[in-house]
Amino acid sequence: MFASVIVDIPSKSVNQVFDYRIPSGMEGLIRIGHRVLVPFGPRTIQGYVMSLNETTDFDPTRIKEIARTLDIEPVLTEEMITIAMYLADYYVDQYISVIETILPAALKANYKKVLRLADSHTAEAEQVLSSISGGAEAETKRLEPDALEALSPYLKSGDIQEETVITQHTKRKMALAVYSLKQADVDLSRAKKQQELYDVISAASDPIFVRDLVNDGFSNALINALHKKGLIAKVEAEMERDPYSDRVFTSDSPKVLNSEQQHAYGRITSAMDEHEAKTFLLHGITGSGKTEVYLQVIQKALDEGKTAIMLVPEIALTPQMVNRFKRRFGDDVAVLHSGLSHGEKYDEWRKIKEGRARVSVGARSSIFAPFENVGAIIVDEEHETTYKQSDRPMYHATEVAKFRSRYHNCPLILGTATPSLETFARSERGVYERLELTMRAGTKVLPEISIVDMSEEHRMGNTSIISGTLEAGIRERIEKGEQTVLLLNRRGYSNFQICQSCGYVPMCPNCDISLTYHKANQSLMCHYCGYESAVHRTCDNCQSDEVTFRGTGTEKVEEILRDMFDTEVVRMDNDTTRRKGMHEKLLDHFEQEEIPILLGTQMIAKGLDYPKVTLVGVLNADTMLNLPDFRANEKTYQLLTQVSGRAGRHELSGEVIFQTYNPTHYAIQLAKENDYRSFYDKEMAFRRLARYSPYYFHVLFTVSSEDIRKCLKATTHIHDTLVQEVSDQSIIVGPSPSPLERINRQYRFQIMLKYKREPELLKMLNTLDEHYHEAYRTEGISLRIDVDPLVIM
């Protein structure tokens, strides 16, 4: 029996399966999806079994044997193997890279080389190794040159051998526990505390962790006393890392659906009954009760013995969504997102793999939750660009969701108030079935929206970032004990530092972008490569002391708000949410302490639902309009509509204020009117004229190198290849410098391919990828191929 294995080497030259013989003692034990250790050249590495075969196309006598398996149960299902192969081919990537994306990081292999005594070794070799390492082995990379020199003769003689040790990145967490030996005639009447402890341990069906007993008031001395008397035994037991172990969730019962919700629920569950792999666009205005439809669809799946996957676009939304799902489904819910530690994600993943959880809630990567028999897949806020991974493999979670929907013959629900143009266009053509929710749940109505022209404010003498209208609105909410949400999609204190004498602006030495001033740590920072430098009070160019700061970020606005309203402000941006759990802590602080103002970047624009939020202010509605991206208008409309939906979601009525220097722009005007259909029609006319998605598919080629001449040469080569290989119906744009021409010392040039049908495209993309994979190794030229890009920066 032979196994086809993909080895753990991220290289194009080995991006294929290799056949290995299964040792006679392992036949029947090794299955598809198992992690195995295999010899590869002079070393032993981890691999994944892709298939099992009775025969091989190669000379059986030259095929090496699998060394051993690393798991009792396979870590990859056959479905996940199929997905890995599909994604690697579609997005032009390596199989091992996709497999490691699918699996939790905890399963990634750690390799280290050690020197160990051979089975037959001299006493002298043992003495020398022991004197250097203090034991029978030494890690090679930790040895000093003179130590290696001393061991060299014994390596040559074979007394000491070098071996590769492979360990898992994160292991199961073990802790000391105790259990009762169920002794008869136990008399502890003269030791009441020991009797109390013994009764607690005896009543438990499983071992109890010592740390839990200590937390309950029992000392280690008491535990040791029972152990010495032979009444209890000690054991190492697994302690599951549950990120919500300290939380109590009150039960929540299903709500009565209104007529629109009931219609949507009926159409989706009909597809479930028919086992149809149908995609639904649940197009519901903000506050229309999409989440309740999700919950009831999932309940039906669970009632039928199936599982369900729920995606949210980012971890800022996860706390409230997890709360709703835990209240409805309890321990059936597993949570998977980047805010968890490797260990927590590993344990949540194992809950799913072992069938102890039937619902997953999480961000992009949770689409790979290892469920079997999936009954429903839901992608909330489907328009969000965060569902597309920005580094390799550059998959889109919705594409994976479609694949899994077809695999399990179950419905896929794409929910949003502001569909991407591509999704809405497919619903117009009948590729997706559109379900409309046009009214807010209950008696609630959409908030009133007004636009403030900031140019007019400045002409009237108000140079603050807070307009008179917005200031009055905030003061009114503070007086009423209500809350305000303010959006500014720019973190930091000021956009840049400038010398008023010579005009010099400090730039990032690695990127073509000005440094952003952060007052909290008195530094200038680059938000692209992380470069940081101290603030200089004199100009680096002319030594003038007339340096000042221009522009406004969330840090500065927080300071302005505290001074203006003499009140506490909760600020949410990448700076304040960097530490684990801060998203949830800040939002809990805002809600439970009834802080008057929540200020944040776009992470606060969607999904949040607080009863006392009655005012939403967008401090600069133009931020995304100015991006050099054909989706800029669409992103602006979506962001404004989403953040508007945070106001007046419960009994209190809501108000929204957009501050802008472009009050007549159609994206802003139609967001004010909440008129998606008019925006769609207008934007589609532009897309048709400019020949952009959804009328064309796109591939974005980005070449980067520290040498600009190499960039120009490579992009010319790619352009010439495209001209020769694609049809005349396709459009090639570029080569041209990227909007951000240099990031992290790398010059960047790009080419955009627009096409409708190119049967040989995949073959050509793989040829280019292989060529520049080698060019990166020899010349430092990197090619990034982004299939279906969402960002062209």
What is the model's pLDDT at position 245? 62
What's the half-sphere exposure (Cβ side, CA atoms, 13 Å) at 106?
19
Question: Which residues lie below 8 Å from residue 460, measured CB to CB, with a gap of 6+?
Answer: 468
Looking at residue 602, what is its pLDDT? 82
Q: How confident is the model at residue 658 (pLDDT cuts 50, 70, 90)?
A: very high
pLDDT band, residue 492 (cuts 50/70/90): low
CA dihedral 56, 11, 401, 311 (to 10 degrees): 140
Contact 128/151 with Cβ under 8 angstroms? yes
Residue 675's pLDDT is 93
Q: Is the pLDDT of residue 755 over 70?
A: yes
pLDDT digits (tens, 9 = 90+) for 455-481: 888 888 888 889 999 999 999 999 999
For the ranges 57-61, 99-103, 237-241, the maximum mean pLDDT occurs at: 99-103
pLDDT at 244 over 70: no
Residue 126 and residue 586: Cα distance in Å, rounded? Answer: 58
Q: What is the pLDDT of residues 352-390, one digit of tens each?
A: 988 899 999 988 989 999 999 999 999 999 999 999 998
Q: For all residues of the chain together, what is the average pLDDT? A: 87
Burial of 690 (C-beta count, 10 Å sphere; 0-12/13-18/19+):
exposed
Residue identified by tokens 């344990």 is: 347
What pLDDT is recorded for position 249?
67
| Alpha carbon 644 to its chain's center | 25
Count CA atoms closer than 13 A to 477's CA, side-chain side. 30
Residue 136, pLDDT score: 73
The confidence score (pLDDT) of residue 239 equals 72
As a whole number of angstroms, the distance between CA 261 and CA 292 comes to 8
Going by C-alpha positions, the residue among 686, 684, 659, 687 that lies closest to residue 672 is 659
Model confidence band, residue 414 (pLDDT cutoffs 50, 70, 90): very high
The total of other beta-carbon atoms located within 10 Å of residue 626's CB is 12
Alpha helices by DSSP H, listed for 461-533, are: 468-480
| pLDDT band (50, 70, 90) for residue 739 | confident
Q: How far apart are CA 64 and CA 586, in angstroms?
A: 56
Residue 519 tokens read as 């007052």
pLDDT at 316 over 60: no
Q: What is the pLDDT of residues 559-593, one digit of tens each?
A: 889 999 999 998 888 778 777 778 778 888 888 88
Instruction: Quickly state the pLDDT bin for 170 (edges 50, 70, 90).
Output: low
Q: What percent of the chain has pLDDT over 90?
A: 42
- Selected residue with higher pLDDT from 270 and 206: 270
Using CA atoms of 606, 607, 609, 614 in order, give the dihedral in degrees to the nearest 10.
Answer: 20
- 493 pLDDT band (50/70/90 cuts)? low
> What pLDDT does residue 668 have?
94
Residue 139 has pLDDT above 90, yes or no: no
- Amino acid sitting at position 570: V
Instruction: Report the alpha-carbon distance of residue 789 to residue 202 in Å, rounded.
Output: 60
Please tell me the predicted confidence (pLDDT) of residue 626.
Answer: 72
Residue 101 CA to residue 395 CA, distance in Å, equals: 10
Of 488, 389, 194, 412, which Cα lies nearest the Cα of 784?
389
Looking at residue 305, its pLDDT comes to: 95
pLDDT of residue 421: 96
Task: Using DSSP bridges, classify how beta strands 68-69 and 43-53 pair: parallel, antiparallel or unpaired.
Answer: unpaired
Inform me whether the pLDDT recorded for 442 exceeds 70: no
| Beta bridge pairs of residue 379 | 311, 414
What is the pLDDT, as a whole number, of residue 547?
83
- Contacts (Cβ under 8 Å, ≥6 apart) of 425: 684, 694
- Would you call 531 helix, strand, or coil by DSSP? coil
At residue 688, the pLDDT reads 94
With a cut of 80, say whether residue 511 has pLDDT above it.
no
Q: What is the pLDDT of residue 740?
A: 82
Short-list 791, 431, 423, 506, CA closest to 624: 791
Which residue(s) pair with 300 in the sheet?
Answer: none
Phi, psi of 454 (to 5 degrees): -70, -25
Instruction: Supply the pLDDT for residue 443.
Output: 63
Find, among 575, 577, 559, the residue nearest to 567 by Cα. Answer: 559
Rounded mean pLDDT, 307-315? 88
Buried b (16+ CB within 10 A) or exposed e, 247-277: eebeeeeeeebbebbeebbeebbebbeeeeb
pLDDT band per the 50, 70, 90 thresholds, residue 126: confident
In this model, does residue 111 exceed pLDDT 60? yes
Which residues, in sequence order, are CB contacts of 412 under 8 Å at separation 6+? Answer: 277, 278, 279, 280, 377, 378, 379, 401, 402, 405
Helix, strand, coil fractions of the chain, as percent rounded to 5: 35, 25, 40
Please report which confidence band the pLDDT of residue 300 belongs to, taking 50, 70 and 90 as the band edges. Answer: very high
pLDDT at 654 over 80: yes
Tokens of 736: 């041209």
- Which domains, and CATH codes, for the chain? 2-108 (3.40.1440.60), 110-168 (3.30.1390), 174-238 (1.10.10), 259-437 (3.40.50.300), 448-491+553-686 (3.40.50.300), 697-787 (3.30.70.600)
CA distance 269 to 727: 44
Beta strands in 186-329 (DSSP E): 208-209, 232-238, 279-284, 307-311
Supply 552's token pair: 């406004």
Spatial separation of the C-alpha atoms in residues 388 and 422, rounded to whole Å: 14
Residues 6+ apart with CB under 8 A from 766: 92
**410 annotated as ligand-binding:** no
Distance of CA 161 to the CA centre of its chain: 42
More confident residue, 521 or 412: 412
End-to-end CA distance of the chain: 50
Is 502 a known ligand-binding residue? yes
499 among the known binding-site residues?
Answer: yes
What is residue 784's three-state secondary structure?
strand
